[in-house]
């Protein structure tokens, strides 16, 4: 009898909820993020087995060289992570989404070509330029064989997004004034506006090390800790030529 009473109360509660006005149930609509205006920054990360690392590098370099000739391309960087030779990254800049879509078959073909050796598959992120300065990517004057390429994924809680954006803009302005700074760009991921990748190029390791300990860098990192939604993911690379 007790279970029957409980079931009856549960059903009555459900019916009561279903008869409530629709406006009381519907959550507030979240506005869709505005589409990216301007160039598209495509970032792709992947990893191959240690034995395949050396043969993967020239394949990626060839892909980059061929992609630079494609219509709508504004630069491609193919990179190999320092200290982790099996981990690679691509940074492609395209005029707009139609240009990205037209070239998508080439990126898919690259994935198929490397499929047998891949340990972690392609992770591709679509970004817009939030605070970008300089010429087309890969055309930096002074980026020789000793140049250090840095890709950082800054992930903060949504409530701290606007504050972080202002902090990153200031960091970019300060960092571009440093000796040895060849590029410092702030991007913003499509659909996840609290994900803010950084693209840095430094003349050499000494220039990058000086930046890490610069007062403005340390002040920024100290403020960011309280806003972070994930660990600060900073990776150092060498360019594949």
pLDDT at residue 23, rounded to an integer: 42
Report the C-alpha gap between 64 and 70 in whole angstroms. 10
Signed CA dihedral, 142, 143, 148, 151: sign only? positive
Instruction: Give the list of residues 6+ apart from residue 157 with CB closer than 8 angstroms, or none.
Output: 194, 227, 228, 229
Predicted confidence at residue 14, as pLDDT, reads 35
Reported pTM = 0.85
Residue 36 has what pLDDT?
A: 74
Q: Which residues contact 132 (CB under 8 A, 6 or more apart)?
A: 185, 186, 187
- Tell the CATH topology of 40-239: Alpha-Beta Plaits (3.30.70)
pLDDT, tens digit, for every residue of 99-140? 999 999 999 999 999 999 999 999 999 999 999 987 678 878
Which residues, given as ranges, of the chain have pLDDT below 70? 1-35, 135
Domain ranges of the chain: 40-239
């Amino acid at each position: 009898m007790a279970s029957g009473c409980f079931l009856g109360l549960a059903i009555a509660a459900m019916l009561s909820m279903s008869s409530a006005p629709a406006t009381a149930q519907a959550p507030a609509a979240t506005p869709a993020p505005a589409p990216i205006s301007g160039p598209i920054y495509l970032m792709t990360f992947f990893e191959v087995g240690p034995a395949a690392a050396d043969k993967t590098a020239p394949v990626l370099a060839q892909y980059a060289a061929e992609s630079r000739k494609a219509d709508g391309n504004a630069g491609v960087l193919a990179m190999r992570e320092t200290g982790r030779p099996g981990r690679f990254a691509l940074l492609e800049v395209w005029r707009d989404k139609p240009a990205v879509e037209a070239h998508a078959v080439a990126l898919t073909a690259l994935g198929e070509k490397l499929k047998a050796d891949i340990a972690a598959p392609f992770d591709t992120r679509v970004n817009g330029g939030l605070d970008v300065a300089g010429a087309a990517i890969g055309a930096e004057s002074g980026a020789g064989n000793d140049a250090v390429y840095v890709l950082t994924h800054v992930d903060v809680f949504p409530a701290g997004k606007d504050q972080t954006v202002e902090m990153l803009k200031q960091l970019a302005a300060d960092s571009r004034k440093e000796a040895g700074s060849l590029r410092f760009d702030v991007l913003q991921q499509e659909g996840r506006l609290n994900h803010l990748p950084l693209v840095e190029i430094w003349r050499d390791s000494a220039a990058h090390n000086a930046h890490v300990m610069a007062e403005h860098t340390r002040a920024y990192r100290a403020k960011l800790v309280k806003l972070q939604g994930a660990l600060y993911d900073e990776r150092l690379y060498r360019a594949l030529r």
